[in-house]
Amino acid sequence: MANDYKIILNLHPKPKKWLGQNFLKDGTILNKIIEAIPNDDNHIVEIGPGLGDLTRYLLVDKKVVAFEIDKELVTHLEKKFERQIKANKLELTNIDVLRHFHKGTLYDSSYNLVANLPYNIATNVLLRVLEDNNCKNIVAMVQKEVASKFVADVADRSYGSLSILCQSACVSRQIVVDVPKECFIPQPKVSSAVIYLQKLKCPQTTSLEYKKFLKICFNANRKTILNNLSKNYKKTNILSVLNSLFIRPNKRPHEVSLGQYDNIYKYLKENDD
């Protein structure tokens, strides 16, 4: 991997901070990512192929659709994988991946997502692919704080609306490996983690209203669920549904489970005028 990083340092004397360019240089972590990718028949969508170290492995027996926003890196990848591109094994697109979601999916058949996500778009991208029914599995490098939120369980310190949205779409959520900031070039200010998310076979679409409801519930984590909900719903209705679910009104938002939030939402939607 060393020669490739000499190339990128020549290409970018001053890395573009607005692109969140932090390239993995640790071979051990790269192997952990490779091991986490399911061995199935799904195609691969890769976001942020960078220098192509992981792409090289993926192309051994998979078709890869890669999204890279940096034109200079695209030029490097086109030269590096010229043969695979001509053979239609690699489809390389120079675009901001968030602009591609207007189609509703990143690929028109079942795929697994492999991504090294810049910190400034990681949450948005993950939420989008959780709603993309063609995406079956996700292996992604993200900021450690973001990773913790997506895989947290009820009562965990990081448990919040992102945890619930992820849990409602996935059958399995886990951190594969923590990645110290020293494993990147240039070195970021915070640590990262690789997460693996296995999607449900038929995840239900989460409505915008439910997302707004969760935002209300977690508006102030230190306040009680009753206090947070009281700003938007009738207190009598809140107490009624909490009592029916045996939830103490003084519980904090992170102490309420996915199933309980679902039931609270349904009740308030039907009974709160």
Q: Give the model confidence (pLDDT) of 96-146 as tens digits.
A: 898 888 778 999 999 999 999 988 899 999 999 999 999 999 999 999 999
Superfamily of domain 2-199: Vaccinia Virus protein VP39 (3.40.50.150)
Residue with tokens 């949450």: 123
Provide the whole-model pTM: 0.91
Across residues 10-17, what is the average pLDDT?
A: 51
Residue 5: pLDDT band by 50, 70, 90 thresholds? low
Delimit the domains of the chain by residue range. 2-199, 208-271
Dihedral sign for Cα atoms in the order 262, 194, 91, 64: negative
CB–CB of 23/54 below 8 Å?
no
Residue 14: pLDDT band by 50, 70, 90 thresholds? very low
Say if 2-199 and 208-271 have the same CATH topology: no
pLDDT at 13 over 50: no
Q: What is the spatial distance between Cα 81 and Cα 69, in angstroms, rounded to a whole number?
A: 17
Across residues 139-160, what is the average pLDDT?
A: 96
Which pLDDT score is estimated for 8? 55
Fold of 208-271: Helicase, Ruva Protein; domain 3 (1.10.8)
CB–CB of 223/62 below 8 Å?
no
Which pLDDT score is estimated for 202? 78
Residue at 84: amino acid letter = Q
Residue 4: pLDDT band by 50, 70, 90 thresholds? low
| pLDDT tens per residue, range 71-80 | 888 998 999 9
| Residue 217 backbone phi and psi in degrees, to 5 | -60, -35
